[in-house]
Amino acid sequence: MIRRLEIRTLAIACLTSLASAAAQAPNSPAAPSSQPADAPEADKPAPEKVRVENYFVQSRSTGTRRESEPPRYVRNLEKTDWFKGKGLGWLDVGLDYRVRYEYRDDDLRRPIATLDQPFLLRTRGYLGVRNRFDPFRGYIEYEDARRVESQFPEDDRDFNRHEIIQAIGEIYLENALGDQRPLRLQGGRMAFEYTDRRLLARNEWRNTTNNFQGFRGILGQEKNDWQLDVLALKPVERILDELDEAVSNQWFYGAIGEWRRWSQVVTLQPYYLLLKQQQKGSAVDRDIHTVGLRGYGQTGKTGLDYDLQAITQFGESGADDHSAHAATAEFGWIFDHEWQPRVAGFMGFASGDRRPGDGKSGRFERLFGFARPWSNDDYIQFENVIAPKVRVEFQPHQRARVDLGWSWYWLASETDRWNAVRLQDPTGQSGDFMGHEFDIRLRLALLDRFDLTIGYAHFWAGEFPENLGRGQDTDFLYVEFSPRLLP
């Protein structure tokens, strides 16, 4: 107990001191690298085009900013210091390295309560060709992910050695749907993110990456007033010590729209997703249909913003009829202050299975999203959960961002599982309160070339894990370092 208190006190004190120091430092013209990368440009001046209004508005809600395509670490060679003026504006190149030290005391995801202090290492490389051989374009992305100094066995969360995570051939028709409204037809292996990332995400926090193999069509682009993406893909399975393969008995289809014509008030994202799985081994036949609508926006100059989403699922899961629901809501307010402080309240819900074995499947299928917005400890996933949150974020310096929050977690169904921790009481007699969590994070952009993130989270176990023998509180401290390798 004393050791936990010392670690928690030290972590919070260090983060507070660093934030105060950043606030007192002189301003610098360089912006944090969390901003999107420069868009690639052609090596020759393009003919003059009719100016098209940019309708895109970014949501302010916590943890929902999608990774760009290409990823943020990618640079157009014409815009780098080394190759400026060399006529290489048709070539995109990226090289990314990240190392994260983790101090995990009594991690509930592990089968035993102990201290683990791993280093997570990830290297990525990217090469893309565009504007040179149009309408034909191509992109490839490499990843090597591994964990060292850990006492636990290898798993596909942290390990994916020497793997091609993207290899895309594309037909790009620039004005197929109108001026500056392109049509892109892609085939191959690909990684991307949609809506608020809770159902479809690359999963940037995790050491390894979600990806797919198949076909994608993109009608329009981000700045247009509407866009429609259609998917016909097979999920890719990460295989330890072998090359990854597409999952042979699964197909994933989707149609994802964005209506931005009213983006000064609301951006609407309707979507339909279908996961089809054929019986193979222990896997049963499944047809899971997901229909959702997300709307987000800002209320003029009041400082108020919102992000709302409702999702329903239906279909079959083996011999059971599947019917599940989920919803998220976040409201925030930015104060009129030079630090741009934002205070937000969030509520998330995903249904669980009420009565196992009754012929009805009620657990929400989380598909291919990521867990980071739910819990900084990675304890919570988008299934069988009720999760209110309060969050605060501010920017005390141009190079520093701070965010912190408090979260509470209940089982939506006390008879269903807590999947990340592998706990379940089918009788429902162990309660439904999983626990609550405090987290704080400091992100720094250092010396124009280095990103440093320091974070801490403490989890207090509730009655549900206590009654099932996992009632210990947990501490999670991490330090993440990422150099920007291209000038």
Q: pLDDT per residue over 257-273, tens digit each?
A: 999 999 999 999 999 99
> At 16, is the pLDDT very low, low, confident or very high (cuts 50, 70, 90)?
very low
Alpha-carbon gap, residue 288 to 303, rounded angstroms: 39
Which residue has better confidence, 158 or 14?
A: 158
Least confident of 49-58, 159-168, 244-253, 454-463: 49-58
Check residue 485 and give its pLDDT. 81
Alpha-carbon gap, residue 220 to 173, rounded angstroms: 10
3-state secondary structure labels for all residues of 339-381 = CCCEEEEEEEEECCCCCCCCCEECCCCCCECCCCCCCCCCCCC
Residues in Cβ contact with 417 at an 8 Å cutoff, skipping those fewer than 6 apart: 352, 363, 384, 423, 424
pLDDT tens-digit map of 349-402? 999 999 888 999 999 999 999 988 899 999 999 999 999 999 999 999 999 999
pLDDT tens-digit map of 39-77? 444 344 444 555 678 999 999 999 999 999 999 999 999
Alpha-carbon gap, residue 106 to 97, rounded angstroms: 28
Closest Cα partner for 60 from 300, 330, 326, 271? 330
Alpha-carbon gap, residue 13 to 314, rounded angstroms: 48
Is the model's pLDDT at 202 over the cut of 50?
yes
pLDDT tens-digit map of 203-236? 999 999 999 999 999 999 999 999 999 999 999 9
Q: Which domains are seen in the chain, by residue range?
A: 2-483 (2.40.160.100)
Alpha-carbon gap, residue 236 to 129, rounded angstroms: 24
Check residue 49 and give its pLDDT. 52
Mean pLDDT of 336-360: 95
Alpha-carbon gap, residue 294 to 324, rounded angstroms: 17
User: Cβ-count burial of 363 within 10 angstroms (0-12 exposed, 13-18 middle, 19+ buried)?
Assistant: buried
